[in-house]
A and B are shown apart, each in its own frame.
Chain A
């Protein structure tokens, strides 16, 4: 098992910050179970799957890996993967702070204009862990609903938290009420 220190060293070798989003992409390829941990199998299988057998090859592949985030499908898979990867072992939900961090990271790659109000809202009004359903549905929300919320459908079976977010946005005047 490669634990936190090992991961740190690995990042140094790659000359990549541990918080760099490309680490997430690599972890995804490795199908890593948890953040900051790689089993031997995950590590070797993962590198094999991207056709890499040396550190240099991996270094040169980094731009490609980063670019994978631009692909709609891959981004979705990586995003969904991020939930189970980032949460504590044995927990069902993702701790709020971690979730906020992940969102900031991910939405830096594919911009969502409402990411900041969303994070503010969660800190002000929710203050609890994020469920998987909410995590997954949020991506849909960010992709399909325009920032002015004009195509938001109250009957759209969005998770309750997202309904509250919409109300929050209307209350603080960011968007006009329907």
Chain B
């Protein structure tokens, strides 16, 4: 050693090799082999782990790994063969139990063997790409036990049979089942799947196919659904208890397919118990169950929806086309609201407020409400009824509720402009006869309409309210001048001044009024025109009312509330006791249909016949004579005879209104065409039609033929021209 330098100690390995004597290897192996035997024979307690480990270690170290490994394989295989025979020999129910026991023992043995051979596992096995001991043990078990020809099928059949029996109500040993299936999973996913799961699913498929076939022939729909739900839950529980969790979606899919999926049509269409009768009878529970089950099938909800839609459309169609129902518009609309409520409740309670079902409901309503072209009129009449008397005394909340429901129906209408026309007419009558239940309710509805349709829709309606208020102020002014009061002698006049554009157009009304009335009217006219120069006033005699004090025989006094026309007629009887139809006609100059209607109310209605008609028939003929009914009597002092309330239109009136609507639509269509062409400059026919429809559909659905006519009219007036080359193209002419 060199004292000058400090050096690290180095220990040199032995330079000569230490070889293991082959006889020694054989001896070592024998020790290990015996140990394995003892382990399998449950005699492991007498073994020394340390010694065995060292022996195995030595063998591997001295390059006898291969001998060790193949020896292990051979020994284990031999043992497993014996075990297989034992299991095969088990009778009946003991088969599975024996298998279970032996499996557990095998695992214990395997663990000990693995521990002993740990060094080999880490070195030799890795270096030579051999299967590690634990895995080797499982594979051997798999090949020599589970997949042995004598055991394999028997095992599967036993398992499937137990499942089948459990399905029919027997109680089975679930713990044992769990152990076996766990064993299969441990042996490898493919073992579990091929040797058990796939046949299990096939068997389930067959089972449920058969069962559902029988069930569908003997049960009604709700019953069937209940059983289906039960089976589904059973299978889910089965998996949780003794199958691998990955099997759950697979088995549920089988049940869904066999029990529900393949039977969907039959179920929903079942007579007297299927979807339709459930809907009709409001069977919330059954419907909810059907929804939850059908939701699992890809086309399940769609099937339900389609049938519900078809049913809704059909019942809706019958509802709106039923001539009986059409007699009472208010009842008609109420039925529609009831139907909507019913389905809203079903969708909420049973279908989890499913949006697609909501949409189906809405589209169905839109479909059948528009089948009847009188729907807009009837909805307006419904509103009129509510605002005139239906909502009397109702709380603000109730009013809002009803109005919101009306708005909901309104949204379904395709011909909103028709509704607007009728609504205006009915509103006018309500305002002028002073018969509205609540001004606030009226205003509230107008606000809702404005929100829905825009300012344009309601500006005229609001104009009507303004006129009423202005008229009140005007009357105050008029009365203050003293011109109104003629003492107790003359008539008292109340005037409402209507701005022509805002109120529904009336055909020119005329009649000859009594002189006293005329005098008052002229006084008012003078007063008004003095403060509003440049305006013109026309008396609308077909819209007014009058209160008359009448004295009958025996001093019977009554106050009669009549229309202006009726007042003119009755005042004639101040000068004569009997008058013929023609005399009345000549004196009053009232148009014939109105005259007949007025006379009918005065002479032919029980309890209101202040006139007697000769002859005593129901209808008015031009040869009739009318006599003042001295003997008229009534319980009430005030008798209402006028008929100025909104009613369902007669056929000719309906035609007239429809014609007006069609006329109103023409300029709207033209305006839309011009707007579109101004911005596009050049556009083809089909696109114009669709653009115009899009622009106007919030108010009404324009007819393509009408649009075409308007285009041609615009061509003639040189707003547009056709392209010279292509007939279908139109050009905007600046």
Interface of A with B (CB < 8 Å)? 92-93, 131-134, 137, 140, 155-160, 163
Q: Which of B684, B709, B727 contacts A137 (CB 8 A)?
A: B727
B727 near A157 (CB under 8 angstroms)?
yes
CA distance A22 to B705 in the complex (A): 39
Minimum Cβ distance to chain B for residue A142 (Å): 14
Answer yes or no: B708 CB below 8 A from chain A CBs.
yes
Interchain CB contact under 8 A, B708 and A133: no
A157 CB contact (under 8 Å) in B705, B716, B728: B728
**What is the distance, in angstroms, from A161's C-beta to the closest C-beta of chain B?**
8
CB distance from B62 to the nearest CB of A (A): 96
* A160 lies within 8 A of B686 (CB): no
Contact between chains at B708 and A160 (CB < 8 Å):
yes
Are A159 and B686 in contact, CB atoms less than 8 angstroms apart?
A: no
Q: Could you say which of A92, A133, A140, A156 contacts B712, with CB atoms under 8 Å apart?
A: A133
Closest approach, in angstroms, between the C-beta of B710 and any C-beta of chain A? 10
Whether A132 contacts B716 by the Cβ 8 Å rule is: yes
Q: Closest approach, in angstroms, between the C-beta of B630 and any C-beta of chain A? A: 59
Q: Is B715 in contact with chain A by the CB < 8 A criterion?
A: yes
In the bound complex, how far is the Cα of B686 from the Cα of A156, in angstroms?
A: 9
Q: Does A156 contact B728, Cβ atoms closer than 8 Å?
A: yes
Q: In chain B, residues 670-702, which have Cβ atoms closer than 8 Å to a Cβ of chain A?
A: 684-686
Known pairs A155-B685, A160-B705, A160-B708; A140 contacts B727 (CB<8 A): yes
Q: What are the residues of chain B within 8 A of A132 when measuring CB–CB?
A: 716
From the candidates B684, B715, B727, name the one contacting A158 in the complex (CB within 8 A): B727
Residue contact B727 to A92, C-beta cutoff 8 Å: no
B684 to chain A, nearest CB (A): 8
Indicate if the CB atoms of A160 and B712 lie closer than 8 Å: yes
Chain B hits for A134, CB < 8 A: 712
Known interface pairs A140-B727, A159-B708, A160-B705; 7 further A-B residue pairs with C-beta atoms within 8 A, sorted by A's residue number: A93-B716, A131-B712, A134-B712, A155-B685, A157-B727, A158-B727, A160-B709
Bound-state Cα–Cα, A131 to B715, Å: 9
**Chain A positions within 8 Å of B727 at CB level:** 137, 140, 156-158
What are the residues of chain A within 8 A of B715 when measuring CB–CB? 131, 133
- Does B81 reach chain A (CB closer than 8 Å)? no
Q: How many Å lie between the Cα of A160 and that of B728 in the bound state?
A: 13
For the complex, what is the distance from the CA of A21 to the CA of B685, rounded to whole Å?
A: 36
The 6 closest A-B CB pairs, nearest first, are A157-B685, A157-B728, A133-B715, A160-B709, A131-B716, A160-B708
Residue with the highest number of chain B CB atoms closer than 10 Å, among A93, A140, A156, A159: A159
The reply to whether B716 and A92 contact each other, CB–CB distance below 8 Å, is yes
Within 8 A of A (CB), among B3-47: none
* Complex Cα spacing A155 to B728, Å: 9
Q: Which of chain B's residues has its CB closest to A155's CB? A: B686
- Please give, as numbers and ranges, the residues of chain B lying within 8 Å of A131 by CB-CB distance: 712, 715-716
- Report Cα–Cα, A132/B721, bound state, in Å: 11
The residue of chain A having its C-beta at the shortest distance from the C-beta of B716 within the complex is: A131
State whether the Cβ of B416 lies closer than 8 Å to any Cβ in chain A. no
Tell me if B238 counts as interface (CB < 8 A to partner A).
no
Name the B residues within 8 Å of A133 (CB-CB): 712, 715-716, 722
A159 to chain B, nearest CB (A): 6
Q: How far is the CB of A28 from chain B (nearest CB, A)?
A: 19
A160: shortest Cβ distance to chain B, in Å? 5
Question: In the complex, A172 Cα to B709 Cα: how many Å?
Answer: 24
Could you pull out 29 A-B pairs where Cβ atoms are within 8 angstroms?
A92-B716, A93-B716, A131-B712, A131-B715, A131-B716, A132-B716, A133-B715, A133-B716, A133-B722, A134-B712, A137-B722, A137-B727, A140-B727, A155-B685, A155-B686, A156-B727, A156-B728, A157-B684, A157-B685, A157-B727, A158-B727, A159-B708, A159-B712, A160-B705, A160-B708, A160-B709, A160-B712, A163-B705, A163-B708
